[in-house]
Structure 1
Amino acid sequence: MAKGTRVQSTSPPDGGWGWMIVAGCFLVTICTRAVTRCISIFFVEFQTYFTQDYAQTAWIHSIIDCVTMLCGLGFALCYSPAIAMVDKYFSRRKALAYGIAMSGSGIGTFVLAPVVQLLIEQFSWRGALLILGGFVLNLCVCGALMRPITLKEDQTTPERNPISRTQKQDFKRVAPCSTLTKKWVQTCLCCSLQQEYSFLLMSDFVVLAISVLFMAYGCSPLFVYLVPYAVSVGVSHQQAAFLMSILGVIDIVGNITFGWLTDRRCLKNYRYVCYLFAVGLDGLCYLCLPMLQSFPLLVPFSCTFGYFDGAYVTLIPVVTAEIVGTTSLSSALGVVYFLHAVPYLVSPPIAGWLVDTTGSYTAAFLLCGFSMIFSSVLLGFARLVKKRKKTQLRFLAKESDPKLQLWTNRSVAYSVARELDHKDDQCVALTVPGSNPT
């Protein structure tokens, strides 16, 4: 956009043109995440036309998901900026704005899945891809809606920047190959990175990162192989596509309702447990999937898996904030979502290789299910170990001094023994006759 059309504002407007930004982000999520999920409907067509096995065909979907999460190319150039723009325009109504904008993924899957199957039947997979590509061109319209806005914090950013204009002018005066200049710049960069990513050294975050790798490995293959599996057990192509629609719309229901439930007072302190519960139940759904070989049985599976998939996706930022705190949340979430990329890349081809080798989907689904269950068990075990250490610390403190009470806040402990001793001295001084209270 030209500089002349830049909107000047001191704070997020929480409305106005912001709702057009939300509408644009809603359409972006349909054109990116929903369309990506619908690629699995083309799986059977690709496999038949190119006469390739499951493992080779699965690379199409896995590369799309991986590149999107890594933010280098393709859909990532639209997806990430659209989400960032919503944050610029909303503050007080940010949760509502993001809820509407991100719902495009599930709603888009619900609408597009049967439409794509119909297009394949009418125009073949080539014609369907051309029409789908024309629909994705609406991303250009979404980009036109993204009107830049200048906020108060943006205007004051140069003043808060540790490298001021004076220092930049000093850089120009100093020789570019100066050893002192290079060392100074390296020191500033190291200090900045150390402060911003200090959470990488936290044991709790390391455990979360490992669990995310296993969780992402398990959740990805279903969106690739649900339609081919349903067709292989005798379900029609239209019904198989409808299973993806059910999965998409129930995903949104899980997003909204589970988030609302965990905001209630009775569950607010147990969000971590709710996250483990949702991931573990998705793993159990995987273990049951090989026994479901008809459309009436696959419908409740799609509902259950879709609901808890939306549930734990909602709680990922909450659990991350509980571990690293709110100040480092944005950087930590960036790392967490970045960790999704590698499992998204390798898990569908590995699952396809298992299908090719065994001639059945059972091994692939079981591996995904156990991967998600392990992710849940790992986080639960880490939480139990942490609580046990806190209990032992309190017990040892009371054993060493009966007056000692330990107040813990994560890894920091505060002792109030001195205050108790001071109060005891005052009481003794007041009760002894002729004593001076001071």
Structure 2
Amino acid sequence: MAMAASKKGLSDSPPDGGWGWMIVIGCFLVTICTRAVTRCISIFFVEFQTYFAQDYARTAWIHSIVDCATMLCAPLGSFISNHVSCQLGIMLGGLLASAGLILSSFATSLEHLYLSLGVLTGLGFALSYSPAIAMVGKYFNKRKALAYGIAMSGSGIGTFILAPVVQLLIEQFSWRGALLILGGFVLNLCVCGALMRPIAIKEDRQNVPEFPEQEFEVQEQDLKPWSACSPLIKVWSHKCLCQCSWQEYKFLLMPDFVVLAVSVLFMAYGCSPLFVYLVPYALRVGVSHQQAAFLMSILGVIDIIGNITFGWLTDRRCLKKHRYVCYLIAVGMDGLCCLFLPVLQSFLLLVPFSFTFGYFDGAYVTLIPVVTADVVGTASLSSALGVVYFLHAIPYLISPPVAGWLVDTTGSYTASFLLCGFSMIFSSVLLCCARLAKKIKWTASRSAESDADAKQEIWTNGTMAYSVTGELDQKGVELLTSQANSYTKR
């Protein structure tokens, strides 16, 4: 099936347009149906807490489990996309996510919601999210950052639109009816999956493991005595699986990817708690409920602007070679915003914070798949994104409870926000140090090569001078000999 798919969309290079814009639209809708719906689950918290008579801590685990399951199962989505079909993977994810939301509308306990809304819906989102993002990278090269900016803006736009709609649905049909309608809405992932037309580019064909043709040319009479569990078949299939797995995940040994993966852990830890605790912090410092909600709206809208504008800017010729640096600057700026947050204790001071944090949050979210593609290449992008989003899982799961524990222990939000800020700054500094070390190593190797070339040139010139001198001496001897012979004859 994979070979047939590759034959349908055979291309020497990404088309940078055409059907690629339909892929961008499909990915945009996927981010609405996955990330935006995940953010809107927090609107159900008060309803769940009131209906099941549970505290905030136990209810908050629902959101953590959804986020964790989405990122933890991202490699599974990449595996299905690579070995079966990207279209089938996204459609299967839509069915699972829809089933989880529909089953959640019949929940009788929080444990039921942990499994249906947390695990099952999160698994469905995982099967859809990373393959859709990887498909954008396969269709775009020159305008990759802009394409990702448009596609990833679905998270902010979806949150901005869905949040009041979900609240209206809860008021009209209760939380059970709202979850049932959301389950039907998420079925649109199946439509998005149908848009993901497969394409195989030159880089993909170069990374496909080649097996000798004689291994596949087996006569019918040779197949008859073989059973389905023949040891020879097992050995051959194991060999094929190992070679395919090595081709897909050999980027794990790349030093650049290892550094990026470690930095992602600290970045994910730092960014998650702010979305949970910004509104409670604003209420504690005297901001009204309407103003606190407006801060989140500002953050969501500016997040969209950051997605698109930063993607467009980093596609310009002057910045295209420096997208890695732009990414680490965006992460570092969000970290600085978190460090200054404890001293911002009025609505007028928190508004600029929402603008700044929202813009740079949208910026680095757009650049995550772009930087990953620059590090590992387009052929390994799907598998690499699966690993990158997998690394988000544990920080997303533990960072909100840890931040809450710090608030309960210290009685303020200062320690929580400082830890988030330093975590994101460390992520940026780690990438910066790795880039500087690589540049120093490259400069040293270039200087060594230039010294070697200079020595080679000196040695060559010396050899040529020596040979020319020898030839002149030889001609001088021959001249003297001829003169002596002529004198003797006389």
Q: CA deviation at 1:210?
A: 1.0
Greater shift in the superposed pair: 97-106 or 294-303: 97-106
Matches within 5 A, 1:61-210: 61-69=63-71, 70-71=73-74, 73-80=123-130, 83=133, 99-116=149-166, 122=171, 127=174, 130-131=177-178, 133-144=180-191, 146-147=193-194, 162=211, 166=217, 173-210=225-262
Matches within 5 A, 1:184-333: 184-333=236-385
Classify 1:299/1:46 alpha carbon distance in 2 versus 1 (closer, same or farther; 3 Å).
Answer: farther
2:338–2:418 CA contact under 8 A, matched in 1: yes
1:224–1:348 CA contact under 8 A, matched in 2: yes
Paired residue type of 1:131 = A
- Give 2:394's aligned residue: 342
1:290–1:365 CA contact under 8 A, matched in 2: yes
Separation of aligned partners in 2, 1:151 and 1:140: 21
Q: CA deviation at 1:87?
A: 7.4
Classify 1:337/1:247 alpha carbon distance in 2 versus 1 (closer, same or farther; 3 Å).
Answer: same
User: What do residues 276-328 of structure 1 show as CA deviations (whole Å, max 9, x unaligned)?
Assistant: 11111111111111222222222211111111111112222333234334443
Q: CA deviation at 1:133?
A: 4.5
User: What do residues 200-258 of structure 1 show as CA deviations (whole Å, max 9, x unaligned)?
Assistant: 12222212111111111111112222223223333333322222221122112112222
2:145–2:370 CA contact under 8 A, matched in 1: no
Paired residue type of 1:64 = V
Separation of aligned partners in 2, 1:18 and 1:271: 22
Q: Which has the larger radius of gyration?
A: 2
Paired residue type of 2:39 = R
Classify 1:161/1:228 alpha carbon distance in 2 versus 1 (closer, same or farther; 3 Å).
Answer: farther
Q: CA deviation at 1:46?
A: 5.3
Greater shift in the superposed pair: 81-90 or 230-239: 81-90
Paired residue type of 2:32 = I
2:134–2:381 CA contact under 8 A, matched in 1: no
Q: What SS does the aligned partner of 1:221 have? A: helix
What TM-score do you get using the length of structure 2 for normalisation? 0.69
Separation of aligned partners in 2, 1:48 and 1:294: 30
Separation of aligned partners in 1, 2:10 and 2:325: 40
Separation of aligned partners in 2, 1:168 and 1:58: 61
Classify 1:363/1:403 alpha carbon distance in 2 versus 1 (closer, same or farther; 3 Å).
Answer: closer
Separation of aligned partners in 1, 2:60 and 2:397: 9
Classify 1:375/1:33 alpha carbon distance in 2 versus 1 (closer, same or farther; 3 Å).
Answer: same
1:9–1:149 CA contact under 8 A, matched in 2: no
**Structure that is richer in helix per residue:** 2
Greater shift in the superposed pair: 334-343 or 75-84: 75-84
Using the aligned pairs only, state the percent identity.
Answer: 69
1:216–1:340 CA contact under 8 A, matched in 2: yes
Q: How many equivalent residue pairs?
A: 411
User: What do residues 360-412 of structure 1 show as CA deviations (whole Å, max 9, x unaligned)?
Assistant: 222221111111111111122222233333444456x37xxx8414xxxxxxx
Separation of aligned partners in 2, 1:221 and 1:367: 10
Q: What SS does the aligned partner of 2:252 have? A: helix
Separation of aligned partners in 1, 2:196 and 2:364: 33
Greater shift in the superposed pair: 427-436 or 195-204: 427-436
Q: What SS does the aligned partner of 2:317 have? A: coil
Q: What SS does the aligned partner of 2:124 have? A: coil
What TM-score do you get using the length of structure 1 for normalisation? 0.76
Query: Which runs of 5 or more structure 1 residues have no equivalent in the other structure?
Result: 1-7, 406-415
Structural RMSD (CA): 4.1
- Give 1:413's aligned residue: none
Separation of aligned partners in 2, 1:193 and 1:199: 11
Greater shift in the superposed pair: 27-36 or 126-135: 126-135
Separation of aligned partners in 2, 1:18 and 1:202: 29
1:114–1:241 CA contact under 8 A, matched in 2: no
Classify 1:365/1:163 alpha carbon distance in 2 versus 1 (closer, same or farther; 3 Å).
Answer: farther
Separation of aligned partners in 1, 2:459 and 2:313: 45
- Give 1:411's aligned residue: none
